[in-house]
Amino acid sequence: MTTFDMAEASLREVNSALHAATSGEFVIENPRGAHAVAAGINSEIDVTINGPVGYYCAGMNQGGNVRINGNASAGLAENIMSGTVHITGSATMSAGATGHGGLVVIEGNAGSRCGISMKGVDIVVGGNVGHMSCFMGQSGNLVVLGDAGADLGDSLYETNIFVRGTVESLGSDCVEKDMEPEHLETLARLLAASGLDADPGEFIRYGSARQLYNFHIDDIDAEVRASGGAS
């Protein structure tokens, strides 16, 4: 096991060592909210970060198993490809944004736009998610044990959204859907993988109404109104 103390080591030194590694366990102490900690991991290494991290922590993760004992700023696990990023605290904006694969677990709350434009990643949030979460989500699963903020799943493609609590409002083209056995199985699998305890039967599934896939002339008025033009 290798330990880095970011009170002493620079971000570049730490990340270069993580990029060079092909296996092993690493511990990072004193990140003190620094940006891009453990971003760009490209192998199946285990990394534990003790303390709060800044923007883009574990971004672009490919294969790594990253655990953060603390909170994170914007862009946690942004564009994750595979592996796991698990945070014990909360994350602010855009957690798991554009992720292609892997698993992101947030034990606390996630801020606005959690899972924006997600492309296959699974995201499990123990608390609440903020407004415009899963905006333009394309595939993967977003699981929220708490509540969801306004405009959930706006302009959604094929991501499944599971929420146990309340939803402040659904975004354009996002609707409540039936929970089929396959969805309950997916939920049970993701809850087990994330280590968060909840009954899959308590969740409601939301998905795309698929009304925005093709252009409709009737939408023109809505577009004009939204842009502040004459209606």
**Please, what is the minimum distance in Å from the beta carbon of residue 101 to other proteins?**
23
Q: Which is nearer to other proteins, 36 or 170 (CB)?
A: 36
**Please, what is the minimum distance in Å from the beta carbon of residue 39 to other proteins?**
10
Strand, helix or coil for residue 106: strand
Token pair of 124 as six digits: 């499990």
Q: Which is nearer to other proteins, 48 or 92 (CB)?
A: 92
The DSSP code sequence of 18-55 is HHH-SS-EEEEE--TT-TTTTTT--SS-EEEEES-B-T
Residues within the interface to other proteins (CB under 8 A): 10-13, 32-36, 51-52, 54-56, 71, 73-74, 89-90, 92-93, 109, 111-112, 130-131, 149-150
**Please, what is the minimum distance in Å from the beta carbon of residue 100 to other proteins?**
20
Within 10 angstroms of residue 212's Cβ, the number of other Cβ atoms is: 17
Closest Cα partner for 145 from 90, 203, 185?
A: 203
What is the spatial distance between Cα 155 and Cα 171, in angstroms, rounded to a whole number? Answer: 7
**Please, what is the minimum distance in Å from the beta carbon of residue 186 to other proteins?**
28
Query: Residues 74, 97: contact at Cβ < 8 Å?
Result: no
**Please, what is the minimum distance in Å from the beta carbon of residue 141 to other proteins?**
23
Q: Which is nearer to other proteins, 9 or 184 (CB)?
A: 9
Q: Which is nearer to other proteins, 132 or 191 (CB)?
A: 132
Q: Which is nearer to other proteins, 111 or 120 (CB)?
A: 111
